[in-house]
Amino acid sequence: MAEKMKIKEHVESDEIISVSHLKIAFGSNRVLTDFNLGLRKGENVVVLGKSGCGKSVLIKCMVRLLAYDSGSLKVFGKEVQGLSQKELDSMRLRMGFLFQSSALYDSMTVRENLEFPLRRHHISSNKNEVNERVKETLENVGLYHAIDLMPSELSGGMRKRIGLARSLILKPEIMLYDEPTTGLDPITAREISNLMLRLQRTYNTSSIIISHDMHCARLTADRLAVINDGICYAEGTFNTLQASNDPFVKAFFN
């Protein structure tokens, strides 16, 4: 019996994020009403939906920047809203979050921006080790040459890469991307999508990617989920959803 239970647990733990019957409202604004989604280990799920449907709210709930009203949201098998502050800190350490704005510290050089999370989380105080990790991460996003620049000297695409590097330096198991290619020209957007894919393989991360960019979705998604009216309205591979007859789903592929 004990053996059987262990096996079942193992199967369930294949889902690194499990969202079920999630509900969140702001006053009378009912954003998510009964939302369900799972993210398996190593998988990339792209989330689509109209502006204001709750995509950012969803991923903010995952790192508990926002609180949900009811339902369940488990990350690494644990209910996010049941975590103690200490557990929450260690969960966040295993997750990277790429904000739309990149949110770099403008008064710090690229090197200092990358060192900051290592120091804040007391990952390493050994100078050589820190240098090595900064170098390796910058090389992985193709920007080692920018190490001594200030954020104001970077282009939009470079800022995205440095923002990505700053999350990756902590070697997260899960990456949450909020519109990673929005505001970039199509070529740079494509480069960022390719980079996300390559980094997923290098770091073996699982990702939730919010994106309106269908090139990005086609390239990066193992699966897509469409939010509409507070629920997961449709779910499937890029090809399945592209072939859908549903007018709402079809609209994203036009």
Ligand X SMILES: Nc1ncnc2c1ncn2[C@@H]1O[C@H](COP(=O)(O)OP(=O)(O)OP(=O)(O)O)[C@@H](O)[C@H]1O
- Using CB under 6 A, pick the residue from 17, 19, 22, 31 that binds ligand X: 31
* Helix, coil or strand: residue 154: coil
* 113 binding Mg ion? (CB under 5 A): no
Cα–Cα dist 154/156, whole Å? 7
Cα–Cα dist 146/134, whole Å? 12
Choices 14-22, 53-61, 110-118, 123-131 (CB under 6 A): range interacting with ligand X: 53-61
Q: Which is nearer to ligand X, 52 or 186 (CB)?
A: 52
Choices 48-56, 141-149, 187-195, 215-223 (CB under 6 A): range interacting with ligand X: 48-56
* 29 binding ligand X? (CB under 6 A): yes
* 163 binding ligand X? (CB under 6 A): no
Closest CA to 75 of 185, 197, 208: 208
* 56 binding Mg ion? (CB under 5 A): yes
Print the SS3 string covering 225-240: EEEECCEEEEEECHHH
* 95 binding ligand X? (CB under 6 A): no
Q: How far is CA 215 from the centre of its chain?
A: 17
Choices 6-14, 26-34, 198-206, 235-243 (CB under 6 A): range interacting with ligand X: 26-34
Name which of Mg ion, ligand X, none residue 57 binds, using a CB cut-off of 5 to 8 Å depending on partner kind: ligand X
Q: Which residue has the tokens 């995952």?
A: 62
Cα–Cα dist 186/216, whole Å? 10
User: Strands, DSSP E only, in 58-157?
Assistant: 70-75, 78-79, 95-98
CB of 74 to Mg ion, least distance (A): 22
Q: Which is nearer to ligand X, 31 or 165 (CB)?
A: 31
* 57 binding ligand X? (CB under 6 A): yes
Name which of Mg ion, ligand X, none residue 105 binds, using a CB cut-off of 5 to 8 Å depending on partner kind: none
Strand partners, 22: 35
* 26 binding ligand X? (CB under 6 A): yes
**What are the residues whose beta carbons fall under 8 Å from the beta carbon of 253, sequence distance 6 or more?**
214, 241, 242
Residues lying near Mg ion in the complex (CB under 5 A) are found at 56
